[in-house]
Amino acid sequence: MIALEVYAKKNDMQPELELIEVKERTLIDEEGKGYVHFNFLVKRLDGTSGLFFAEVHPDCREEEDVYLCIPLDENDCGHCFGCKDRAKDLKHPTSGGYLGGHKDLGFPFMVFESDEDSEGEI
């Protein structure tokens, strides 16, 4: 609700938008910083609905905890490393603008060996 309120306030749209439901959501931990990405469906006063993307602090309680909240276009297909495996259906804005999910981090403390490193091992 806070993310939608921030968007509406910035765009002088209150009370034109109503939250219908959260569709997808995931938590991203990127080098000690947490981000929650989610999509939610919104109903407008004219009866039409639209999908939104928001990025917020994991403990979102006030407007400052909302990093980004924008409506998505049907063709939006932004890439997010943080959501690619855990929330494959979560849509991101093609234009970017979100803070988390730009680094390809494996499971914490996991070391990956290349094929060349392990060739001589049995």
Assign 102 a pLDDT band (cuts: 50, 70, 90): confident
pLDDT at 44 exceeding the cut of 70: yes
Q: What is the pLDDT of residues 14-42, one digit of tens each?
A: 778 889 999 999 999 888 899 999 999 99
Identity at 15, one-letter amino acid code: P
Q: What is the pLDDT of residue 104?
A: 63
The full set of domain ranges for the chain reads 2-71
For 116-120, what is the mean pLDDT?
47
pTM of the model as a whole: 0.80
| Residue of 29, 87, 30 whose CA lies nearest to 53 | 87
Q: Go through the chain and tell me how many residues it has.
A: 122
Q: What is the pLDDT of residue 45?
A: 87
Tokens at residue 26, please?
């995931």
Q: What is the pLDDT of residue 56?
A: 97
Tokens at residue 14, please?
């209150």
Q: What is the chain's mean pLDDT, rounded?
A: 84
